[in-house]
Amino acid sequence: MDGSQPPMLPVNAQRRCPICGKPNWCLLAPDGKTAICPRTAEGAIKRAGDAGWFHIVDPDRVIPLLAPAFKPQNTVKVDFQRLSDIRRERAEPRLHDLARNLGVSVDALRRLKVGYNDFDKTYTFPERDGQGKIIGILLRYRSGPKKRIRGSKSGLSYADAWDNGSGPVLLVEGPSDTAALMTLGCNAIGRPSNRGGYAHLADLLSGFPNDRNIIVLGDSDCKLDGFWPGKEGAIQTASEVSKRLERTVYWALPPDGVKDARAWLNEHGGDNPTSMRDCFMEGLRLQEITPPPVIRSFVPFQEPISLGTYRQEMLKRRLLSLDRPGIYLDRSMTGSGKSAIDYRVVLNLFGRTEEVA
């Protein structure tokens, strides 16, 4: 072979030898036009030493080396915290328009750190993990559709001071319903969808007092075929959060047959929404989800002892077991001296004793 040719490459299961069809031992040129096969001499051009026979591959059987998969070089990570802050600075003139459109208070939108992008005319809703870090940004177009910025992870929508220190917390779908409940004066956290965000919710609520209820609020969006994503998602979320927190969690649907919390606010909130908070809460029909039983194995605590003392105890128990029918089980770890103790037991039987080291 000409030394200027590129080196032959080993065949594999995806690029088999075109001469014998096997996935091993043979060599194949990167362009697939020549091969060295140790199994087949017939049709070879010449012998290639101990490697086998050199073949020119039939053009119909050429297997070219696939080009490596393209990997984008752009590894720059989006600083969602900074991006959210920039969008908030430009949001103030637009928040009043969004508040009127959604039927929620401007203060609720401010507390959720809603921003605005003049370039594509979108409102931005930051999503957080259970520790408060912004991990993604949800875009809401003025025409209604929503999508996340590239690189975003779905998270929760909540204010810095989401807990006023009293009453239950309601887990609703999305930032709009979160803003609606905040307008009513409720403690609210927005889930990223009807199902999801379980780990973030468990993290955020890990210290929530046991004497205050956690309520998952689903949407009344039953379909004609009986599929009910809002209700089923609420039950699933309540079950997951209950299991992770090991406490009772409740689920409910909005009162008065409305679709969601924002629809109830727009229909019943009036000019003083906070005065309607109790009315909203009393209309909820809470369904209880209890956590599954947890079985734990506890190892009794024992003060550490020296190896010498342990061996003395081992020898004592071995001697006590002599002439007593039954099974003797010793689970001492390697190096604890089981063999040495056996030897000393034998010596003891013959009336000889040695100190146990």
Strands 187-191, 169-173: pairing kind: parallel
- pLDDT value, residue 30: 86
Domains of the chain: 9-61 (no CATH), 80-289 (3.40.1360.10), 307-349 (no CATH)
**pLDDT confidence band for 127 (50 / 70 / 90):** very high
Question: 356 pLDDT band (50/70/90 cuts)?
Answer: very low
pLDDT tens, 274-321? Answer: 999 999 999 999 999 999 886 665 566 667 777 778 888 888 888 887
Task: Indicate the residue type of 254.
Answer: P
The C-alpha atoms of residue 199 and residue 240 are separated, in whole angstroms, by 9
Average pLDDT over residues 9-19: 87
SS3 for 336?
Answer: coil
pLDDT given at position 176: 95
Residue 331: is it exposed, middle or buried by C-beta count within 10 angstroms (0-12/13-18/19+)? Answer: exposed
For residue 299, the model assigns a pLDDT of 60
Is it the case that residue 352 has pLDDT exceeding 80? no
Q: Three-state DSSP class for 159?
A: coil
Query: 165-218, pLDDT tens digit by residue?
Result: 899 999 999 999 999 999 999 999 999 999 889 999 999 999 999 999 999 999
* Biggest CA pair distance of the chain: 100
- Which pTM does this prediction carry? 0.64
Residue 52 pLDDT > 80, yes or no? yes
What is the percent of the chain with per-residue pLDDT over 90, rounded to a whole number?
51
For the cut 80, the answer to whether the pLDDT of residue 241 exceeds it is yes
β-pairing, 134-141 vs 122-128, is antiparallel
Which among 301, 300, 189, 191 is positioned nearest to 237, based on CA atoms? 191
pLDDT at 235 over 90: yes
Least confident of 15-24, 47-56, 303-312: 303-312
pLDDT at 348 (0 to 100): 76
